[in-house]
Structure 1
Amino acid sequence: MNPGDVNLQQLLEQAQLMQQQLASAQQELNDAQVEGSAGGGMVTAVVNGARELLELKIDPSAIDADDPQETAETIADMVIAAIRDAYRAADELQQEKLGPLAQGLGGGFGQLPGF
C-alpha cells in the first residue's frame, strides 16, 4: 500500500461507527424533553430535542375574565415566547449532541486524500 492510499475497510468502519453514533444521538434527542417559559412561568412549553411541541401549559391566573380580548392577546404572545424559548433550549441540546459528530466528520474526511 502506498502512503497516499486510503484504507477503504478502515474508512467503512469509521463511517459505520459515525452512523451508529448519529442514530444514537438522534434517538436521545427524540427522547429528551426541554422546557421554555414566558410571563414568569405563566406559560410553559415542552418540546423534545427534535423541536416537536409535546405540551403547553397555561396558568389559570393568566386569564383575566374582565378583559377577554386583552387576555387572549397576552396569552398568545406568551405562548409564542414560551415556544421560542423551548426551541432555543432544543437547539442547544442538538448542538450538544450532534456538534461533536459534525466535527468528527469534518476532521475525518478533511484529512483524507481526495476529500
Structure 2
Amino acid sequence: MDFSDLGKMKEMMEQARQMQAQMERKLSETVVEVSSGGGMVAVRMNGRKEVLRLKIDPAAIGSESSDLELLEDLITAAVNEAGRRVDETIKANMAGMMGGLNLPGLT
C-alpha cells in the first residue's frame, strides 16, 4: 500500500461521513402518512419513526367496548404501516446514495 492508496482511503472515509450526515438530514425531513379503517385513523411519522401526528375520526369513537377494541386495532395497524413505509423510504434513499460511492460490492 502506498501513499496514494492512503489518500484514496481518506477520501472515501470523508465521502462516507458526508453521506451519513446527508442521510441524517433526510431522515429528519422524511415524513410518511398512512391511514387504516378507511381513513378512520391516520398516522404521520418521520424517518426516525417518531409519530408526529395521530388523527382519529370522531366516528371511530363509540360507547361500546368493541368500538374501543376496533380503534386500538386501527391505531396499531396505522402505526405499523407507517413504520414499514419509513423503512421502505430509507432503503430507497440509501440505495440511491450508495450508488454515488464507489465501494466494491455496494454499487
**TM-score between both structures, scaled by the size of structure 1:** 0.78
- The SS at the match of 1:45 is strand
Partner of 1:58: 56
- Tell me how far apart the structure 2 counterparts of residues 6 and 37 of structure 1 sit (CA, whole Å): 54
- Tell me how far apart the structure 2 counterparts of residues 17 and 109 of structure 1 sit (CA, whole Å): 14
Could you tell me how far 1:101 is from its partner in structure 2? 4.4
| Percentage identity across paired residues of the two chains | 34
> After superposition, what is the alpha-carbon deviation per residue over 1:74-110, rounded to whole angstroms, capped at 9, x for unaligned?
00000000001111110111101123445677x6255
Equivalenced residues, count? 106
User: Which consecutive unaligned segments of at least 5 residues does structure 2 have?
Assistant: none
Matching of residues 35-74 of structure 1 within 5 Å: 35-65=33-63, 67=64, 69-74=65-70
Partner of 2:83: 87
- The answer on 1:20 being equivalent to 2:18 is yes
User: Which consecutive unaligned segments of at least 5 residues does structure 1 have?
Assistant: 111-115
AA paired with 1:108? L
Q: Which has the larger radius of gyration?
A: 1
Checking the alignment, whether the CA contact within 8 Å between 1:43 and 1:82 is kept in structure 2 is yes
Q: Of the two structures, which has the highest relative contact order with CA contacts closer than 8 Å and spacing of 6 or more?
A: 1
**TM-score between both structures, scaled by the size of structure 2:** 0.84
- Tell me how far apart the structure 1 counterparts of residues 104 and 4 of structure 2 sit (CA, whole Å): 11
Q: 2:6 aligns with which of 5, 8, 28?
A: 8
Checking the alignment, whether the CA contact within 8 Å between 1:30 and 1:49 is kept in structure 2 is yes
* Pairwise CA RMSD: 2.5
Checking the alignment, whether the CA contact within 8 Å between 1:22 and 1:101 is kept in structure 2 is no
- Tell me how far apart the structure 2 counterparts of residues 56 and 6 of structure 1 sit (CA, whole Å): 54
